[in-house]
Structure 1
Amino acid sequence: MDYTNKVILITGGTGSLGQALTERILNTKPEIRKLIIFSRDEQKQFQMAQKYPHDQYKKIRFFVGDVRDYERVKRAFKEVDFVIHAAAMKHVPIAEYNPEECIKTNVNGAQNVINAALETNVERVVALSTDKACAPINLYGATKLTSDKLFIAANNIKGWNPIRFSVVRYGNVMGSNGSVIPFFIKKKKEGILPITEKNMTRFNITLDGGVDMVMHALDHAWGGELFVPKIPSYKVTDVAEAIGPECEKPVIGIRPGEKIHEEMISSSDSFNTYDLGKYYVILPTVPRWSLEEYVQEHKATKVGEGFAYNSGDNTEWETVESLRTLIKDHVDPTFEV
Structure 2
Amino acid sequence: MLNGKRILVTGGTGSYGKRFVENALKKYPDIKRLVIYSRDELKQFEMSQLYPRDKYPNLRFFIGDVRDGARLKRACEGIDIIVHAAALKQVPVAEYNPMECIQTNILGAENVINAALDCGVSNVVALSTDKAAAPINLYGATKLCSDKLFVAANNIKGSRNLKFSVVRYGNVLGSRGSVIPFFLDKKKTGVLPITDKKMTRFNITLDEGVDMVLYAIENAWGGELFVPKIPSYRILDVAEAVAPNCKLDFVGVRPGEKIHEEMITETDSLNTYDCGRYYVIAPMVQLWNMQQWMEHFKAHKVPEGFRYNSGENTDWLTVEQLRQQIKLHVAPDFQV
- TM-score normalised by length of structure 2: 0.99
Deviates more, 1:305-314 or 1:51-60: 51-60
Deviation per CA, 1:179-226, whole angstroms, max 9, x where unpaired? 000000011011111000000000000111111101100110000000
Q: How does 1:187-336 map to 2 (within 5 A)?
A: 187-336=186-335
* 1:244 aligned partner, one-letter code: A
Task: Give distance in 1, aligned partners of 2:48 and 2:308.
Answer: 40
**Deviation of 1:285 (Å):** 1.4
Aligned residue pairs total 336
* 2:21 aligned partner, one-letter code: T
Partner residue in 2 for 1:76: 75
* 2:163 aligned partner, one-letter code: R
**Deviation of 1:162 (Å):** 1.6
SS in 2 for 1:250: strand
Task: Give distance in 2, aligned partners of 1:83 and 1:135.
Answer: 27
Partner residue in 2 for 1:104: 103
Task: Give distance in 2, aligned partners of 1:116 and 1:154.
Answer: 12
Instruction: Write out the 4+ residue segments of structure 1 that deviate beyond 3 Å after TM superposition.
Output: none
**Deviation of 1:170 (Å):** 0.1
* 1:20 aligned partner, one-letter code: R
* 1:137 aligned partner, one-letter code: I
SS in 1 for 2:87: coil
**Deviation of 1:7 (Å):** 0.3
* 2:125 aligned partner, one-letter code: V
Task: Give distance in 2, aligned partners of 1:240 and 1:214.
Answer: 30
**Deviation of 1:324 (Å):** 0.2
Deviation per CA, 1:286-336, whole angstroms, max 9, x where unpaired? 222111111001100110111000000000001111000000011110012
* 2:7 aligned partner, one-letter code: I
Task: Give distance in 2, aligned partners of 1:211 and 1:291.
Answer: 27
* 1:251 aligned partner, one-letter code: F
Task: Give distance in 2, aligned partners of 1:3 and 1:309.
Answer: 32
Task: Kindly indicate whether residue 118 of structure 2 is the aligned counterpart of residue 119 of structure 1.
Answer: yes
Deviates more, 1:283-292 or 1:35-44: 283-292
Partner residue in 1 for 2:167: 168
* 1:150 aligned partner, one-letter code: L
**Deviation of 1:4 (Å):** 3.6
SS in 2 for 1:223: coil
* 1:193 aligned partner, one-letter code: L
Partner residue in 2 for 1:28: 27
Partner residue in 2 for 1:137: 136
Partner residue in 1 for 2:15: 16
Deviation per CA, 1:204-256, whole angstroms, max 9, x where unpaired? 00111111101100110000000000000000111011000011111000011
Partner residue in 2 for 1:58: 57
**Deviation of 1:136 (Å):** 0.1
**Deviation of 1:3 (Å):** 2.9
* 1:219 aligned partner, one-letter code: E
Task: Give distance in 2, aligned partners of 1:70 and 1:264.
Answer: 30
Task: Kindly indicate whether residue 176 of structure 2 is the aligned counterpart of residue 177 of structure 1.
Answer: yes
**Deviation of 1:61 (Å):** 0.6
Task: Give distance in 2, aligned partners of 1:83 and 1:3.
Answer: 12
* 1:81 aligned partner, one-letter code: D
* 1:292 aligned partner, one-letter code: Q
**Deviation of 1:279 (Å):** 0.4
Task: Give distance in 2, aligned partners of 1:289 and 1:157.
Answer: 14
Task: Give distance in 2, aligned partners of 1:4 and 1:182.
Answer: 35
Deviation per CA, 1:163-184, whole angstroms, max 9, x where unpaired? 0000000000000010000000
Unmatched 5+ stretches in structure 1? none
Unmatched 5+ stretches in structure 2? none
SS in 1 for 2:23: helix
Deviation per CA, 1:49-88, whole angstroms, max 9, x where unpaired? 0111111111111000000000000000000000000000
* 2:136 aligned partner, one-letter code: I
Partner residue in 2 for 1:39: 38
SS in 1 for 2:125: strand
